[in-house]
Amino acid sequence: MTIRTETRTGALAMGSVAMASVGGSVAVSGVLADAPLFTVQAIRYAAASLLLLALARAARVPIRMPRGTEWLWLLGVAALGLVLFNVALVRGSEHAEPAAIGVAVACVPVVLALVGPLLEGGRPARSTVLAALVVTAGAVLVQTGGRTDLAGLGWAATVLACEVGFTLLAVPVLRRHGAWGVSVHTCWIATAQLGVLAAATEDPAALTSLRGAHLVAIAYLAVVLTAIAFVLWYSAVGRLGSALAGLLTGVAPVAAAGVGVLLGAHVPGAGVWAGTALVLAGLVLGVRAPQPVAADPSTCSNGTSRYSRQGR
């Protein structure tokens, strides 16, 4: 039995837009490079939480309170997929070039293809794993490597684990809470965690150091890269399953390269074009393969490559 074509097409579009938003956020990193990390991220997730709640209310989407072990899964998504992810990006950038971190993240499709089905009660599909390998190879080419040291490798591995955790730790709670609920809860939990870190490590006067350009960048992160992209991504995962949705992470580095050209960067070389072709080939291979039915959170509750310094 396979996922309905119309459902899969819509979910693929949502996941692709979410990952394109991630890739297109590269330009934001330069604007926020001199801003206090934890303070900026706390503001960003707080604003996203309020926006998500307002949109959910307008759309009449119920946001359920977590219960039991759901708290642990949501705390894990926030701590690993949001907070530690951003810390690892910053610390990793001190030891490795952005492309080196990007190569680690490019391994996400393979990990999701192998582990995701196990968490969803199935087993890895050979066709999806093969497609993930092709997408990963293409993403690595687009990133074109990068220099690093031993500490950089450790931080790159942490970024990979956090990126995988952002998706897989949400799987057990997606059925009951849906994309909206998971997005709302992880954002406000991350706000609290980052608020504590900001209070402990950053000057309270950091707020007054934020300039107009900082605020515009934070608004973009809160609205596009968090409120919109999170709901789109978790909707895609809920409908496609983590393995097939994971292939779409290959869209992020391609989008980053495209945005770079639009912003005046050099036209990509042969390696980037070859990598883009491989990513597209892997996506076609994965989409054409029969897929098992994935839980659709909307039936229950109406219902974050190359990354910037400020993260997902």
Structure tokens at 296: 């659709």
pLDDT recorded at residue 287: 77
The confidence score (pLDDT) of residue 288 equals: 77
CA dist 6 → 2, 3, 13 (Å) = 11, 9, 11
Q: Which pair of structure tokens corresponds to residue 22?
A: 């991630």
Distance between CA atoms of residues 10 and 175, nearest Å: 18
CA-based nearest residue to 218, from 150, 128, 100, 310 = 310
Indicate yes or no: pTM above 0.85.
no
The closest alpha carbon to 249, from 144, 131, 79, belongs to: 131
Task: Convert the pLDDT of each residue in 140-195 to its tens digit.
Answer: 777 666 566 777 778 878 888 998 999 999 999 999 999 999 999 999 999 999 99
Q: Give the pLDDT score at 183.
A: 97
Which residue type does 65 have?
M
Give the CA-trace dihedral at 178, 250, 286, 224, to 10 degrees: 30
Ranges under pLDDT 50 in the chain: 1-2, 293-309
